[in-house]
Amino acid sequence: MNIKILGPGCVNCEKLEQQTVNALAELGVAADVVKVTDLNKIMEYDVMTTPGLVINDTVKVFGRVPRPQEIKKWIQEEL
């Protein structure tokens, strides 16, 4: 599973990354978590506001930090 955290490194970007790592640990799922900070690469996903969460090349959310339950649901859907 590939997970990308899209954002320049703002507080919400860091929070999304931490919640995603925690969700993976709670579910016992292994994944590559990559931070994407290059604005041109972020725009390739049609994400105009950060943070953004991409799981297996599918944008799940952007512009807000989702609840941990949402992150877990999206991870489980992509398994």
Q: Which of 1, 8, 9, 10 is catalytic?
A: 10
In this predicted structure, what is the pLDDT of residue 74?
Answer: 98
Q: Which of 3, 5, 6, 13 is catalytic?
A: 13
In this predicted structure, what is the pLDDT of residue 51?
Answer: 98
Can the peptide bond before residue 68 be classed as cis, meaning omega within 30 degrees of 0? no
11 in catalytic set: no
10 in catalytic set: yes
In this predicted structure, what is the pLDDT of residue 59?
Answer: 98
Query: Looking at the whole model, is its pTM more than 0.85?
Result: yes
Name the CATH topology of 2-78: Glutaredoxin (3.40.30)
Residue 3: both structure tokens together: 């997970």
pLDDT tens-digit readout, 30-78: 999 999 999 999 999 999 899 999 999 999 999 999 999 999 999 999 9
Domain ranges of the chain: 2-78
Going through the chain in order, the beta strands assigned E by DSSP cover 2-6, 32-36, 52-55, 58-62
Answer for the pair 55, 16: CB distance below 8 angstroms, yes or no. Answer: no
